[in-house]
Amino acid sequence: MRVSLAHCSNFSSALTRILETIQHCVVTILGTGILGFPHATAAFGYVAAAIFITFITLFSFYTTRILVNLQEMGQTSYPDIAEGIFGEGWAKWHVRPFLFVTFFPVVAVMILIGGDALYTMIHLGRDLEVLPTKVCGIIMGAVVFVISLLPDLSEAWPVSVVGSVAAFLIVSYALAGSSLWIERCDRSENVYHDGEITATGAVFNIMSSAGSFLFGYGFHSIVPDITSSLHIHEKQERARQMTAVKLSFGVVGPSYVVIAILGYAAFGMGVSSNVMDSIGQVMGDGPMYVIWAFVAVKTATEV
């Protein structure tokens, strides 16, 4: 009986650990960048977008797996991991510059998205401006800064729970709103064609859209921080994290593809750069108020 109880206790502990890691991974991986995927699909087309998203998802999963297996005790960032492999000082010129040009712009864009969501939420159904866009951006930046001061992800589980709920609602709204538009609105084939665009414009749109897709995978720079904050260092713990990563990518990858294709199928070339702006045409102010609030929350919890 003691062995059985001990076995059940160990299983329960392992399951709790996996669920906790999934929670943090989903919050990090499934970001608001997904809201720009339908607009990016308008430039790529259905097939190219699906292939591109699938490739980047698999590539991100593969590199995440490498990071998890390489990271040792005390290493909390890319530079730490790199210097543990190549020697002290190596990361100064080979890693840190690239982190600077990727992580900080991503954080800045997320703050802007969150500020825009906060501004839209506040002004739904209002004719007069209550708060300027800049003030909303400053508020969002302050919120992100305060959350970043939390010392350990293992102690910040309420933040990740709220972020997980926000991620679920964002995906649900994107699916429901696009589906409602397809069901209720008549669309001609012309909605999927932009006859006035030049070859140069098409190339520019494709390059810009590729950036939108890649932005959805900006989480990669904080993978080492997740591993460190959750105290995942032992071999068994790493195996549990990889199980969580596999399950997370198994949810995120299909979500990315479905929302990208369904959003474009619904709104065509007229889809907004943030699909929620288009979905607002078919949903009332009440539901949109809720989702804009959670979009703001999501941007705050994932950077």
- For 121-160, the pLDDT digits (tens) are 888 888 888 888 899 999 998 888 887 776 655 555 666 6
Tokens of 9: 């206790």
Q: For 163-179, what is the mean pLDDT?
A: 86
CA distance 210 to 186: 29
Phi-psi region of 66 (alpha: psi -120 to 50; beta: other; left: phi over 0): alpha
Assess whether pLDDT exceeds 60 at residue 282.
yes
Res 153: pLDDT: 55
Q: What is the pLDDT of residue 3?
A: 47
* pLDDT score at 211: 86
- pLDDT, tens digit, 9 for 90 and up, residues 10-29: 556 666 666 777 777 777 77
Amino acid letter, 302: E
> 77-99, pLDDT tens digit by residue?
788 888 888 888 888 888 888 88
Res 54 pLDDT > 90: yes
**What is the phi-psi region of residue 89: left when phi exceeds 0, alpha when psi lies from -120 to 50, beta otherwise?**
left
Question: What percent of the chain is predicted at pLDDT more than 90?
Answer: 11
- Structure token pair of residue 297: 């929350």
Is 197 in contact with 82 (CB distance < 8 Å)? no
- List helix spans (H) across 124-231: 133-148, 157-184, 199-215, 223-229
Please compute the mean of the pLDDT values over residues 250-275 and round it to a whole number: 89
Judged against a pLDDT cut of 70, whether residue 168 lies above it is answered with yes
Against a cut of 0.75, is the pTM above it?
A: yes
Kindly give, in sequence order, each residue whose CB lies less than 8 Å from that of residue 119, ignoring residues fewer than 6 positions away. Answer: 131, 133, 136
Q: Give the model confidence (pLDDT) of 204-256 as tens digits.
A: 888 889 888 888 887 777 777 766 666 555 666 677 777 778 888 888 888 89
> Quick one: which of 299, 273, 269, 278 has its CA closest to 209?
273
Instruction: Check if the beta carbon of residue 164 is closer than 8 Å to that of residue 26.
Output: yes
pLDDT at site 236: 62
φ and ψ at residue 14, rounded to 5 degrees = -65, -40
Which residue reads 């703001």 in tokens?
296
What pLDDT was estimated at residue 217? Answer: 82
What count of Cα atoms within 13 Å lies in the side-chain half-sphere of residue 214?
11
Q: What is the identity of the amino acid at 245? A: V
